[in-house]
Structure 1
Amino acid sequence: MENKITSGIWFVFIGIVLLLHNLDIIDFNFWATLTYWPLLIVIVGINLMVQNRRFGGYIKIACNALFLGWIFYIGISTPGAHWTETLLNNRQVNIGDLDDGAPLTNEVKTSFDNTIQESRLEFNGGAGNFEIKAVEGDNLILAKAKDDKMGMTIQTSKQDGKQHVTINAKPTANSKKSGTVSLEIHPQTTWDFEFNYGAASINGDLSALRFRNLDINTGASSMDLTLGMPQVDVSYIAIVTGASKIHFRIPKDAAIQVEYTSMLSKNSFEGFATKEDGVARTANYEHADKKFNIDLDGAANTFVISRY
């Protein structure tokens, strides 16, 4: 009888957690609970020791209930992450301090100043969908959440004639799961970009943007970006990720070098003349005045460069 009650407690617990998680009432971090799997051995040992003893059934029920209560606390109190982020232990992904104290809004922006020739954007976000495009207008940057699932804060400053913008995005209190953010960026300035994401879907057309640095640090993600011709002497692109699908569309005449130190990855580079020792180059790379230097670091990625 006690075994049936204990099994029933487990089934009820698992069913309720799955239901609440699927209904978006709680965000249960299943992966975090696996850290405590040795406690199962302890529970089994206690069950065996008290079997057929006086009050043994009550002890078994109490121990299992306490264990499941602890697991529930861990699951709802530990910030969620995609399982591949934890598996790959991608410590280089830094989504910044998202709890900066400022109230979250679904739209943030900063005005365009045509006297500023260089700008830097740091965008920190957890899991979610992020869309990037170039838009001329009154705003240097305009970020909009498409629903109430995501909120943002913005910080701006000017140093040495350069505009610095930091945007933090995270799920709002109304939703434990992530939504979609569109990011509109003014093309009439030279950019340094740093995008720090968790497990995300990132899509964008950067073909009109002039940039010197594009740093992308993510967990397991899907990335589809279109670039234009390089507009400075060297545009550096550094990608740190794991278990991601990456697709870059780059003009056929662009000069490109790709250095890749990724393990267990599948790479496909269209239109490259040399591919050896973790380095691939287009035929025009050495003599080009403007070029892309791409550095890919990570494991279990699929990286495709197609030309248009």
Structure 2
Amino acid sequence: MNIRKIRNGIILISVGIVLLLNNLDYVGWSVWWSILKLWPIFLVAWGIELVFRHSKLSFLALFSPLLWCLAILGPALLGEQKDFEIFPLSKQYTWQVEKQTNIKQVTAVIDVKGGELKLSGGSQNIADCDLTYFWEKPECSWSVEDSHGILEINQKDKIWFPFVNGSDEHEVKIAFSNSIPLDLQIFSKVSAADLDLSQLNLKNLDLNLKVNSTTVKLPLRPGQLDCKVKSKIGHLKLKVPKEAGLAIENLAKLSSTSFSHISLRHSAEGFKTPNYQKASSKINLILRGKIVQFEIETY
């Protein structure tokens, strides 16, 4: 008894039956998604075959092709499949938080995935969001505690398809109000991030990114801006105002650095610009993680 031949024959017969049911419109093509989700059963079946095919209990190896058959035909004959697109078209979700006079401060927590993340100011509302998704609509929430607003954006899709449509359609765009004090936390896995924060009344910035390329333009605001970057980034470009005092505490692995038109002096904590102590606008930057290329330029 050749278990391999029996197993291969059962697989071909089962797949052929499902394809026939697909072509006759008895079963939708989404059944293949249900079948793929049963992949652990295929591993169990393969393991049973490996254990018993050369043993005295070789007849037990027959359970292997039986499991293959059940896992392939079961969803087609017994299950109800919802429509499922193997290569779905992108969908747009627009969401906003209207301006409220009682809000004195906003904390925004952003967890998104996609082709490119774009953040900016200039919104007439507290926030305007334009998100791309494929299967699961992003979760956006807004709550208020006293005069403190909490905005949360969670893009649930775990897979991004850069080959479905043009790259321009795979963008997450979020614009914030310029006037309201903002604490910003970003957790993202995107191919690129363009964070133009120069207009925002930004107080704290916490970035946790896995990105190929990131550009961050920081604002010139009286007082102190605390900025933390914990990331795996190919290229991080930081744009800072000429008038701002910059202090850097480097705890990251940097492969290369490039500083344009900016002077940095070594200090006990890391590096500082000569004007740091006297500057009315201070930026404190802490770097963690791994950054292949770190670039600073002034504007």
Q: Quote how far apart the aligned CAs of 1:259 are.
A: 1.2
In structure 2, the residue matched to 1:256 is: 246
2:184 corresponds, among 187, 193, 198, to 193
SS in 2 for 1:234: strand
1:218 corresponds, among 192, 209, 233, to 209
Cα distance in 2 for partners of 1:300, 1:247 equals 10
Q: Report whether the alignment pairs 1:239 with 2:229.
A: yes
In structure 2, the residue matched to 1:119 is: 106
In structure 2, the residue matched to 1:50 is: 53
- What amino acid is aligned across from residue 152 of structure 2 in structure 1? T
Cα deviations by residue, 1:194-248 (Å, 9 ceiling, x for unpaired) = 112245532131111121101112335532222232x031101111222543222
In structure 2, the residue matched to 1:304 is: 295
Change in 2 beyond 3 A, CA 1:109/1:45? closer
Structure 1 vs Structure 2 CA RMSD = 4.3
- What amino acid is aligned across from residue 238 of structure 2 in structure 1? F
- What amino acid is aligned across from residue 129 of structure 1 in structure 2? E
Percent identity, aligned pairs only, is 17
1:177 corresponds, among 157, 160, 183, to 160
Cα distance in 1 for partners of 2:297, 2:7 equals 57
Aligned counterparts, 1:54-133, within 5 A: 58=62, 106-114=93-101, 116-133=103-120
Cα deviations by residue, 1:131-168 (Å, 9 ceiling, x for unpaired) = 1111242x110101256667333322333433222222
Q: Name the larger-Rg structure.
A: 2
SS in 2 for 1:283: coil
Cα distance in 1 for partners of 2:212, 2:269 equals 22
Change in 2 beyond 3 A, CA 1:147/1:260? same
- In 2, are the aligned partners of 1:105 and 1:152 still within 8 Å (CA)? no
- In 1, are the aligned partners of 2:48 and 2:61 still within 8 Å (CA)? no
- What amino acid is aligned across from residue 239 of structure 2 in structure 1? R
- What amino acid is aligned across from residue 53 of structure 2 in structure 1? V
Cα distance in 1 for partners of 2:51, 2:122 equals 67
- In 2, are the aligned partners of 1:212 and 1:232 still within 8 Å (CA)? no
Q: Quote how far apart the aligned CAs of 1:51 are.
A: 4.0
- In 2, are the aligned partners of 1:112 and 1:140 still within 8 Å (CA)? yes
In structure 2, the residue matched to 1:85 is: none
- In 1, are the aligned partners of 2:114 and 2:189 still within 8 Å (CA)? yes
SS in 1 for 2:243: coil
- In 1, are the aligned partners of 2:93 and 2:133 still within 8 Å (CA)? yes
1:268 corresponds, among 257, 263, 273, to 257
- What amino acid is aligned across from residue 255 of structure 2 in structure 1? K
Cα distance in 2 for partners of 1:5, 1:218 equals 49
Q: Quote how far apart the aligned CAs of 1:26 are.
A: 5.8
Cα distance in 2 for partners of 1:273, 1:147 equals 42
In structure 2, the residue matched to 1:207 is: 198
- In 2, are the aligned partners of 1:106 and 1:150 still within 8 Å (CA)? no
What TM-score do you get using the length of structure 2 for normalisation?
A: 0.64
In structure 1, the residue matched to 2:143 is: 157
In structure 2, the residue matched to 1:145 is: 131
Cα distance in 1 for partners of 2:156, 2:95 equals 13
- In 2, are the aligned partners of 1:206 and 1:228 still within 8 Å (CA)? yes
What TM-score do you get using the length of structure 1 for normalisation?
A: 0.63
Cα deviations by residue, 1:74-112 (Å, 9 ceiling, x for unpaired) = xxxxxxxxxxxxxxxxxxxxxxxxxxxxxx981111112
Farther-moved stretch of structure 1 (281-290 vs 148-157) = 148-157
List alignment gaps of at least 5 residues for structure 2: 16-31, 74-90, 162-169
Cα deviations by residue, 1:111-130 (Å, 9 ceiling, x for unpaired) = 12355342221222245532
- Number of equivalenced pairs: 250
Cα distance in 2 for partners of 1:246, 1:26 equals 38
- In 2, are the aligned partners of 1:206 and 1:226 still within 8 Å (CA)? yes
Cα distance in 2 for partners of 1:195, 1:185 equals 14
Cα distance in 2 for partners of 1:136, 1:60 equals 60
